Amino acid sequence: METTQIAGHRVLLWPQDGQPLASGRDASDIIGDAFSAQAQIVAIPAARLSPDFLRLSTGLAGEVLQKFVNYGLRVAIVGDVSAAAAASAPLRDFIGESNRGRHVWFVPDLAALEAKIAEIA
């Protein structure tokens, strides 16, 4: 796991390669890594998401993201999810609502994440 400082916040960068984030247990493991790294924000590559994550009807996104919020961590999904959003109005709405908040964001790249973090700093 790699960490970096962005706008005064310690960010855990979950690796690009590896098993997909496919369960609440996977989220718990990432949360443990974040606490070990003393991170306040976790950046998860969109490429590491299980296909079920972006199908809101599965409940996976809600379960996973709520875990982060419950543990006081901010989380960003970093990467292109535009195709999935274009195919699903509920997902598009969910992403829009998330991006207006202060705890869960969907951003295209690390530069956009840096801008988002600077907004809350």
- The model scores a pTM over 0.85: yes
Annotate the chain with three-state secondary structure.
Answer: CEEEEECCEEEEECCCCCCCECCHHHHHHHHHHHHHCCCCEEEEEHHHECHHHHCHHHCHHHHHHHHHHHCCCEEEEECCCHHHHHHCHHHHHHHHHHHHCCCEEEECCHHHHHHHHHHHC
Mind listing the pLDDT tens digit for each residue in 34-93? 999 999 999 999 999 999 999 999 999 999 999 999 999 999 999 999 999 999 999 999
Residue 120: the pLDDT is 84
pLDDT(96) > 80: yes
